Structure 1
Amino acid sequence: MSDSHTTVTPSAWKERGRLHAILRLLWADKLATLAALFLILVVACAILGPWLLDGVATRQNLRGRNAPPFDLARGWAFILGGDQLGRPLLARIIVAAGNTMAIAVGAVVVSLTVGSILGLVAGWSRGWAGNLIPRLADVIMSFPSLLLAVIVLYMLEPSVANIVLVLAITRIPVYLRTTRAEVLEMRERMFVQAAQVMGASPRRIMFLYILPMIVPTLTTVATLDFAFVMLAESSLSFLGIGIQPPEITWGLMVAQGRPYLTNAWWLSFWPGLAIILTALSLNLLSNWLRIALDPTQRWRLEMGGKKNG
């Protein structure tokens, strides 16, 4: 009988080493570590919450209207209290995380994709495209993003798809201008000129040589922009032109609790706290990414990791 051995390929060892290095850099920044753990919890709630707690979050119990927090007599779901219809706030916050995160992720992905492609073209082209595309970004940025979203959503149905589309359009100039600035600087570098001499097509140079170089910058911007989009969606829901009942988001929960601030502050406090902590965690993680992805500043985290080790 021959013994079976698990063979670990060099590529697997390389991936393990890379993951270990990332975790060490993250552990060197304790605030970023806490932020990452909190965001993992939020993502888990967004994925599993609607599946596990949707029935609990929508079940009405008029005897528990505006139930105070930390009253476990009604069950664990009422640890944060109940809303104006006796529905448990904890379950509703967990379920609402799904819609809030879906809108934010959708808007960031769409704006990142469209904006980076337009930015690559605008930065590389020396003809009409290089002049027209930046002017398009200037036109969009000339309108306040929240005001533009309000105007469009007044004319359209306030559905999830429309909110994602509106918020994505308002954020496209951020990625377009960032990508264009990076391309304008990189197209004069030696490796780009060498690729041109070797006969590489402009498309190949943009997507295989330049784009990987600016992905760290775009990742940092997207992480920070994620918090802005989430706050914008919460603002729209608070104004009553975002997600409509029976769907729920954190911003809508804050808006629904506004009439009860004097006698049931917890209706708006807990979803508002979730918004604040998520935005703060995204900002802390964005700051860590900016340092970790910059070779000239990464030594700060590496030195911190050695001291902690």
Structure 2
Amino acid sequence: MSATAMTTSADTPETKVSRFQILRLISRNWLALAAVIFLLLVVACAVFGPWLMGDLIDKPNFRARNMAPFSLSQGWTYVLGADTLGRSLLARLVVGAQNTIGIAFFAVFCSVVIGGMLGLIAGYSRGAAGTMIMRGADIVMSFPSLLLALIVLFSLGPSVTNLILVLAITRVPIYLRTTRAEVLEVRERMFVSAAVALGANHTRILFRHIAPIVLPTLVTIGAIDFATVVLAESSLSFLGLGIQAPEFTWGAMVATGRGYLSTAWWIAFWPGLAILLTTLSLNILSSWWRTYADPQQRWRIELARSKKGIPEKRK
């Protein structure tokens, strides 16, 4: 057997172990497992919700106006109650997940891309370009993010595009400064000096050698920041500067039900609970992943695993 074949056969079990290690560890942490299951449910609602319940979100049923929850007199779709026009709250929750999660996803994605690119330039450049980028980030960070969003949306007008844009701009400095700090350390390593000595241009060094090392950190921060963006979008929708009718998000549903808290509390309660559980699940999963990704903190997960009587494989 050749050395290549021996290496391949020897690496196969380790590859399988690393592939399923995260799933096994999550399955033994009931809190992280519950967070994953709930987030998968939210994603499923965002993907398949409009197809399953799209006809019910705008269909009024005046016989079910402000109908209390946990009643099946109007069908199972009214199990969570109805709003002031008799529309199913369950259907609106399921369909509203698409706008809520979609806006947060694109806002985080844009901020990661823009902040990551600017951070690579600011960290690698030793000239005035890096200084100008950092001063621009300081200007953005000097404004409270919610106040800046209110000013921009009031000036440009509320729309999905403007909402994603303003949420992305307010989060860009976080990724910019993180990327710059990573690049300042990575650019001094030996493999970067070797690439420069071999004649590699700056673009190749940035995107071929430095960016792959910085990307996992940005993905981790993006997962943590996702919950913050969901809350920010819900706050803006609650204030009437988010997505506009006939489209809606969970935050807009809370704003609709705030005038009926004393008579029909369920109109605002269910979307508020969805926002709470989504952000809580994101924070729990992000905290678990941060512990797992840090070699100095991973022993906490391994210790919890060993306490349950699962023997650890020693090297």
> What is the TM-score when the length of structure 2 is the normalising length?
0.91
The equivalent residue for 1:292 is 292
The equivalent residue for 1:206 is 206
Instruction: Deviation per CA, 1:151-184: give whole Å up to 9, x if none.
Output: 1111223111111011111111110011001111
Structure 2 unpaired stretches of 5+: 1-7, 311-315
The letter for the 1-side match of 2:207 is F
Match status 1:232 vs 2:232: yes
SS of structure 1 residue aligned to 2:297: coil
The equivalent residue for 1:82 is 82
The equivalent residue for 1:129 is 129
SS of structure 2 residue aligned to 1:56: coil
Shift of the alpha carbon at 1:288?
A: 1.2
Instruction: Deviation per CA, 1:180-238: give whole Å up to 9, x if none.
Output: 01111221223322322233222222222222222222122101111111111101110
The letter for the 2-side match of 1:118 is L
The letter for the 1-side match of 2:203 is R
2: CA distance, partners of 1:198 / 1:307: 51
The letter for the 1-side match of 2:293 is L
1: CA distance, partners of 2:51 / 2:259: 30
Match status 1:51 vs 2:42: no
Note closer, same or farther for the CA distance 1:202–1:151 as it changes in structure 2 (3 Å cut). Answer: same
Contact 1:107 1:168 in 2 (8 A): yes
SS of structure 2 residue aligned to 1:55: coil
The equivalent residue for 1:174 is 174
The letter for the 2-side match of 1:158 is P
Which stretch of structure 1 is more off in the superposition, 255-264 or 198-207?
Answer: 198-207
Name which structure has the greater RCO, CA cutoff 8 Å, separation 6+. Answer: 1
Structure 1 unpaired stretches of 5+: 1-8
Which stretch of structure 1 is more off in the superposition, 129-138 or 14-23?
Answer: 14-23
2: CA distance, partners of 1:209 / 1:288: 28
1: CA distance, partners of 2:20 / 2:234: 36
Match status 1:104 vs 2:104: yes
Which stretch of structure 1 is more off in the superposition, 109-118 or 199-208?
Answer: 199-208
2: CA distance, partners of 1:216 / 1:25: 20
The letter for the 2-side match of 1:288 is W
The letter for the 2-side match of 1:237 is S
Structure 1 segment 22-61 matched on structure 2, within 5 A: 22-61=22-61
The letter for the 2-side match of 1:18 is S
1: CA distance, partners of 2:202 / 2:299: 35
Instruction: Deviation per CA, 1:242-293: give whole Å up to 9, x if none.
Output: 1111111000000000110011111101000000000011111111111122
Note closer, same or farther for the CA distance 1:111–1:57 as it changes in structure 2 (3 Å cut). Answer: same
The equivalent residue for 1:266 is 266
Match status 1:190 vs 2:183: no
Which stretch of structure 1 is more off in the superposition, 299-308 or 89-98?
Answer: 299-308
2: CA distance, partners of 1:222 / 1:266: 32
The equivalent residue for 2:144 is 144
Which stretch of structure 1 is more off in the superposition, 142-151 or 191-200?
Answer: 191-200
SS of structure 1 residue aligned to 2:86: coil
2: CA distance, partners of 1:260 / 1:15: 56
The letter for the 1-side match of 2:268 is S
